[in-house]
Amino acid sequence: MTTYRPEKADELIQTARAMVAPGKGILAIDESNGTCNKRFEAVGIDPSEEKRRQYRELLLTTPDLETYVSGAILYDETIRQSTADGKSFIDVMRERGQVVGIKVDTGAKPLAGSDGEKVTEGLDGLRERIAEYYGMGARFAKWRAVITIGRDGRPTRGCIEANAHALARYAALCQEGGLVPIIEPEVLIDGDHDIDTCERVTEEELNEVFRQLYHQNVMLEGVILKTSMVISGKDAASRAGVEEVADRTVETLLRTVPAALGGVVFLSGGQGVEESTAHLNAMHQRHGDRLPWPLTFSYARAIQGPALGYWKGESANAEEAQKRAFKRAKFNGLASEGKYSADMESA
Ligand code: 13P
């Protein structure tokens, strides 16, 4: 069981290494149209297909982004789009030596029989969709499960097991088709829970995910884990500081994530922009020599936020918006080697 190698094992391992190459992380721009529109509307941008295209072009063509960004996760609409002068986004990325990724889940839906928990869907027809994306040039995929911490015993075992099982089925299909699966079991930051509760839930969730990956014959060397940090709930009465988040996150990962894994990346999950960078940096400064896997970022909001807020859908703002995206990518790239310092923010 443990020695199972998918047909494309060598290619998968190579892809995973490129995704988490030293000093780099992954840009997430795989918001579904609905989520992207919501973010646009919040800053007064017209939620149209053309605006989504312009925005993704702005981000993907940011000068020198490839220095700190190894690849990007796209959405189905985006992977089929091109720049205004007709170059496909896939070619834009490949020419910069970046790896193309694609979100393949179809969203978190209400889990039947539960009180408000969710299970992520998208397994039906997935083998065929993976084949199409691979043919287009994608080399990794993403599937996000959401785990809610709440009163009344949430998350339940039923929710944790259903999501972990789906993640493992997805991961096995990806590897069969030559895509490195990013498995993303996100423990949501929403709520007033303390960091102990987040740690306990994250540990339980990750243990179950790796158990299910084992049962589905997934080759860990060709998998990237995208996880939330161990952090206090957004509305907690007193929130843990940077060093505690860094320490608890690393300790929890060391207890639960096999050393053979291809790499670990973080989502930002509603943390502040600078906070997301500081947490990653502190993990490397305090524990860098103990980490058995590359540990870096795969942020969406923590990289895009400042750029989106500045752009506002106006072409005259595009260049400055790109500078803001680049700044976050660079600082997070530095943080992934413990070389960031808060003083750089004002420099
Ligand atoms: P955030 O960094 O905004 O949490 O997004 C990452 C992501 O890919 C969510 O699925």
Q: Which amino acid is at 234?
A: K
Ligand 1, atom 4: closest residue by C-alpha:
269
Just give the CATH number of 9-346: 3.20.20.70
Q: Which residues have a Cβ under 8 Å from the Cβ of 340 and sit 6 or more positions away?
A: 277, 278, 280, 281, 331, 332, 334
Q: What is the pLDDT of residues 258-298, one digit of tens each?
A: 999 999 999 999 999 999 999 999 999 999 999 999 999 99
Q: Which pLDDT score is estimated for 156?
A: 97
pLDDT tens for each residue of 118-177 = 999 999 999 999 999 999 999 999 999 999 999 888 999 999 999 999 999 999 999 999
Residue-wise pLDDT tens digits, 28-82:
999 999 999 999 999 999 999 999 999 999 999 999 999 999 999 999 999 999 9
- Specify whether the CB–CB gap between 145 and 120 falls below 8 A: yes
Residue 285: exposure state from Cβ atoms within 10 A (0-12, 13-18, ≥19): middle
Is 302's C-beta closer than 6 angstroms to any atom of ligand 1?
A: yes
Ligand 1, from 104, 186, 267: best to mutate by most atoms within 8 Å of Cβ? Answer: 267
Please tell me whether residue 186 adopts helix, strand or coil conformation.
strand
Beta carbon of 52 within 6 Å of any ligand 1 atom: no
Question: From the CA of 310, how far away is ligand 1's center (Å)?
Answer: 20
Nearest CA to ligand 1 atom 5: 300
DSSP class of residue 39 equals: H
- The amino acid sitting at 151 is R
From the list 113, 91, 108, 109, the residue with the least C-alpha distance to 100 is 91
Q: How far is the CA of 3 from the centre of ligand 1 (A)?
A: 32
Angle between helices 49-60 and 318-335 (to 10 degrees): 50
Catalytic positions: 184, 226
pLDDT in tens, 96-124: 999 999 999 999 999 999 989 999 999 99
Length of the chain: 347
Please tell me if the CB atom of residue 269 comes closer than 6 angstroms to any atom of ligand 1. yes
Nearby residues of 300 by Cβ (< 8 Å), 6 or more positions away: 27, 28, 29, 30, 31, 267, 268
Nearest ligand 1 atom to the CA of 270 is: 4
Answer whether the bond into residue 155 is a cis peptide, omega within 30°.
yes
